[in-house]
Amino acid sequence: MRKETEQRAVALLQKHPCFAAATQQELTLLVRHETTLLREFAKGQTVFPAHGVSQAFGLLLSGGCVVKRGGRIVKTLPVGSVFALETLFGGSFRDVLAAQADGKALLIAKEALEELMRADFAVAQGFLAFLSEQIDALSGAAAAAGSGSAESRTARLLLEHQKPGGNEVALAPDFGKLARQIGVSKDALSRALDRLTAAGAIGLGGKGIVIISREKLLQFINENEE
């Protein structure tokens, strides 16, 4: 592996929460591990799972990939993405990563990660925190999936986070994060907010979301539960 590729891999890994506590030297050893594989791929090829590779996670160094589930594209992975990390210690990677453009990915075996975690407990803690967040996100999405329309879920979340003594909502205006909290897509959340705004229940401003009418938000919730 070329030195510039190695340095790029280390720099990208440092941006991931699982490896934020690792030193540059530790990540360099991870990248240089005897089990680590540099996978070059062409447009149209399957990047992961890879033939002859099991129990490994990947780092997309260049090119472009999409995640396919049942033959349908469900996500696009940007360069620098870490994939299949959450499956190393349980479960299997059921999706397929397909290349949309020529590129490279680094495949790092579970064995190499375990050595790093034994050497640096802070990295192990980071990995556990990452897994906990993934579990919470999946649990929230599963609960939300059976608890009403996007409008009712959004209304409930806004009421739960209304600031005491005011109409402002204590939520960062990050549509991606809000969508994950209630278990819907960003497009579905955007449509729900538009409908709540049109109904006069909320207002959207530079500082975030403001509740105009609690009664109308409750109406959206109650109508869904009837």
Domains of the chain and CATH, by start: 3-140 (2.60.120.10), 146-225 (1.10.10.10)
**14 — pLDDT class (breaks 50, 70, 90):** very high
* Cβ atoms of 103 and 39 closer than 8 Å: no
For the chain, the distance separating the N- and C-terminal CA atoms, rounded to the nearest angstrom, is: 61
pLDDT above 80: residue 59: yes
> Average of pLDDT values for 187-195?
87
Dig out the tokens for 76 from the structure. Answer: 């696009």
Residue with the bigger pLDDT between 29 and 162: it is 29
Q: How far apart are CA 48 and CA 67, in angstroms?
A: 10
Rounded to the nearest integer, the mean pLDDT of the chain is 85
pLDDT of residue 132: 78
> Tens digits of per-residue pLDDT, 197-208?
999 999 876 667
pLDDT of residue 137: 58
Nearest CA to 106 out of 31, 34, 53 is that of 31
Phi and psi torsions of 100, nearest 5°? -95, -15
Q: How far apart are CA 212 and CA 167, in angstroms?
A: 7
Residue with the bigger pLDDT between 158 and 104: it is 104
**45 — pLDDT class (breaks 50, 70, 90):** very high
Phi and psi torsions of 179, nearest 5°? -60, -40
Nearest CA to 202 out of 135, 157, 164 is that of 157
**145 — pLDDT class (breaks 50, 70, 90):** very low
Q: Which helix (H) or strand (E) holds 83?
A: strand 82-83
pLDDT of residue 146: 46
Dig out the tokens for 75 from the structure. Answer: 């996500």
**43 — pLDDT class (breaks 50, 70, 90):** very high
Report which listed range, 17-31, 88-102, 162-176, 201-215, is most confident: 17-31
Residue with the bigger pLDDT between 61 and 210: it is 61
> Average of pLDDT values for 106-122?
95
Virtual torsion, Cα 41, 44, 47, 53, nearest 10 deg: -90
